[in-house]
Amino acid sequence: MIFFFDKSFIIILLINLLYSQCIAENTCFPSGFKIGVASSAYQTEGAWNVSDKGINNWDTFTHGKNQGNSNEDNTGDIASDSYNKYKEDIQIISDIGFDYYRLSLSWARILPNGFANKISEEGVQHYKNVLDELHAKGIEPFVTIYHWDHPDVLDKLGGWTNELMVDYFEDYARIVFQEFGSRVKLWATINEPNINCLSSYSTGVYAPGFKMPGIGPYICVHNMLKAHTRAYEIYDEEFRQINNGKIGIVIAGFYHFSVEENDTESSDVAFQYESGWIAHPIFSKNGDYPPVMKERIGENSKLEGYPRSRLPEFSPDWIQRIKGTSDYFGLNHYSSNLVKSVPKNPITGWINDSGIVSSVDKSWMRAASIWLSVVPKGFRSILNKIKCEYNNPPVFITENGYSGYANESDIQDINRINYFYSYIEEMLLAINVDGCNVHRYTAWSILDSFEWDMEYKERFGIVHVDFNNPNRTRTPRLSASWLGCVLNRRKLISFDEFNANRI
Ligand code: NOJ
């Protein structure tokens, strides 16, 4: 007997076959899954003193380190020059084929005085141009309102340790929604409050360089959580109906593996002190800071003679307001570590109040950044932790990436490709096997840029930038073409397969 099938039947059959193959191989992205790339304003823009832009905290901090000399090796004065080269950058993003671009706004470029009494026309126009260019190329903008740079005048008033910063941020966010709301459907309020606050107010390696461990960072996060909530509420009440977008927060998270078998506590405590510090108030059923933080910091403070906990308290009203203020869980994940609990010892502050010490497994490969060990399995673990802890919220991976050394001629960045491959593989297991609710994956970063305290010594770009050349010439690395291939085929592709198909 002979059967005749029409062409469309055969095509459907082939698609099904390919799909079931990629499911079996765990190389499929779920339907509608989006892949993007990220950067931030201070790290890439440069143009620190063009038009009427105000001075920001990082301008002051980096210039201060150089005794007032503007030295482009150690500052973001020129950085990757994206302020001037944004069209070229967007062309590169479009050529690679990314679905979206996560970028941030410079507060001081929009509000030069720091306050809402003066809006810079040029600053606003610049971002409108950038957003229009993205739309013209079919790239969705994903805008972070605050990625660590704010007008210096606000730092002079205490920065994030001043509770009025909550009002200033609210004013800034409202202006940003008014000016760009019709062009932006996806917002992040604040990037990594935990890292920002610890580095700015505990270790002092970020602007403004204050060292107030055990006090400064707790106040800073407290104010950021309120500022985030206000921005979310404004969007909800005044803009969501018209602009129909989503808004959330970006949280940094390592995965913490317990050193000792059967020790489930240390891993959880480490999670609560890092990601939970921000996520518990927003995503947990009861809201507020993680109970373990409240207990341990409260007890330590008492032992140290403080009349109240060094961890500020939210009123019942704020606990309710903060809860639920994120349409997605933005996760920046790069690495993992090993943790174990240590006996209580009030004299040493009991290891940053947590009672946990961390280390790394010596067999883990390391990137250029000292904190970045390559531990792909930790990615699946943290996604599962978020799923269990917060009832499987929609997760957007807002950053994931690998650093190389500045002095390497590393256009052939095979280590970075291996990193991306192994991390995406674990993410797909979390999605396809464990049922984690992940919708987006963002590679960090599109360009080599100013890596905060490490200046230009560590390079996260999938595109190399020549900082010795006044043109800041861009050269896509091999990882950019590998990601292009993944985007094109909508499938995770091994380096060997990619290499074999290269012309
Ligand atoms: C997270 C931060 O958001 C980003 O600014 C930084 O460059 C990367 N981590 C790498 O350190």
Q: Give a yes or no: residue 377 inside a domain.
A: yes
pLDDT of residue 66: 72
Distance 343 CA to ligand 1 centre (A): 33
pLDDT of residue 2: 53
Distance 430 CA to ligand 1 centre (A): 23
Distance 335 CA to ligand 1 centre (A): 12
pLDDT of residue 314: 98
Q: Which residue in 45, 179, 192, 458 is the catalytic one?
A: 192
Mutate to test the pocket of ligand 1, among 149, 198, 460, 465 (most ligand atoms within 8 A of CB): 460
422 is written with which tokens?
Answer: 């192994």
Question: For residue 69, is pLDDT > 80?
Answer: no
Residue 192 is among the residues annotated as catalytic for this protein: yes
- Asked if residue 188 lies in contact with residue 330, where contact means CB atoms within 8 angstroms, the answer is yes
What is the average pLDDT score of the chain? 94
pLDDT of residue 124: 98
Q: Give a yes or no: residue 14 inside a domain.
A: no
179 is written with which tokens?
Answer: 């000016």
Instruction: Report how far residue 235's alpha carbon sits from residue 450's, in angstroms, rounded to the nearest whole number.
Output: 31
Q: Give a yes or no: residue 10 inside a domain.
A: no
pLDDT of residue 68: 59
What would the pLDDT profile of 394-446 be if each residue is shown by its tens digit?
999 999 999 999 876 679 999 999 999 999 999 999 999 999 999 999 999 99
Q: Give a yes or no: residue 16 inside a domain.
A: no
Distance 192 CA to ligand 1 centre (A): 9
For ligand 1, atom 6, the nearest C-alpha belongs to 451
Mutate to test the pocket of ligand 1, among 142, 275, 332 (most ligand atoms within 8 A of CB): 332
- Asked if residue 104 lies in contact with residue 143, where contact means CB atoms within 8 angstroms, the answer is yes
Q: How confident is the model at residue 73 (pLDDT cuts 50, 70, 90)?
A: confident
Number of domains in the chain: 1
Atom of ligand 1 nearest to the CA of 454: 11
pLDDT of residue 349: 61
Q: Give a yes or no: residue 291 inside a domain.
A: yes
Instruction: Report how far residue 440's alpha carbon sits from residue 430's, in angstroms, rounded to the nearest whole number.
Output: 13
* Percent with pLDDT over 90 in the chain: 89
Q: How confident is the model at residue 344 (pLDDT cuts 50, 70, 90)?
A: confident
For ligand 1, atom 11, the nearest C-alpha belongs to 451
Q: Average pLDDT, stretch 472-499?
A: 97
What would the pLDDT profile of 255-272 be if each residue is shown by its tens digit?
999 999 999 999 999 999
pLDDT of residue 50: 97
Mutate to test the pocket of ligand 1, among 197, 399, 448 (most ligand atoms within 8 A of CB): 399
Question: For residue 350, is pLDDT > 80?
Answer: no
pLDDT of residue 237: 97
Q: Average pLDDT, stretch 22-29?
A: 84
pLDDT of residue 3: 56
CA torsion 366→338→420→141, rounded to 10°?
Answer: -110
Only one residue has tokens 């499987």, namely: 392
Distance 367 CA to ligand 1 centre (A): 14
121 is written with which tokens?
Answer: 């026309």
Q: How confident is the model at residue 159 (pLDDT cuts 50, 70, 90)?
A: very high
pTM exceeds 0.85 for this model = yes
Q: How confident is the model at residue 26 (pLDDT cuts 50, 70, 90)?
A: confident
Q: Give a yes or no: residue 2 inside a domain.
A: no
Atom of ligand 1 nearest to the CA of 452: 7
CATH number at residue 443: 3.20.20.80
By C-alpha distance, which of 469, 463, 482 is closest to 420? 482
Distance 491 CA to ligand 1 centre (A): 26
In 10 A of CB 400, how many CB atoms? Answer: 21
* Percent with pLDDT over 70 in the chain: 94
CB under 6 Å to ligand 1: residues? Answer: 40, 43, 191-192, 332, 399, 444, 451, 460
Atom of ligand 1 nearest to the CA of 369: 11
Q: Average pLDDT, stretch 472-491?
A: 97
pLDDT of residue 244: 97
Residue 389 is among the residues annotated as catalytic for this protein: no
pLDDT of residue 502: 80
Atom of ligand 1 nearest to the CA of 449: 7
Mutate to test the pocket of ligand 1, among 402, 416, 444 (most ligand atoms within 8 A of CB): 444
pLDDT of residue 31: 95
Distance 252 CA to ligand 1 centre (A): 9
pLDDT of residue 478: 97
pLDDT of residue 25: 81
pLDDT of residue 180: 98
Q: Give a yes or no: residue 5 inside a domain.
A: no
Q: Which residue in 45, 170, 399, 425 is the catalytic one?
A: 399
Q: Give a yes or no: residue 338 inside a domain.
A: yes
Atom of ligand 1 nearest to the CA of 43: 5
Atom of ligand 1 nearest to the CA of 444: 8
pLDDT of residue 498: 95
Q: Average pLDDT, stretch 217-234?
A: 98
31 CB burial (10 A radius; 0-12, 13-18, 19+): exposed
Domain region containing 110: 32-502
What would the pLDDT profile of 268-322 be if each residue is shown by its tens digit?
999 999 999 999 999 999 999 999 999 999 999 998 999 999 999 999 999 999 9
- What is the number of alpha carbons within 13 Å of residue 129 lying toward its C-beta? 13
Instruction: Report how far residue 93's alpha carbon sits from residue 107's, in angstroms, rounded to the nearest whole number.
Output: 24
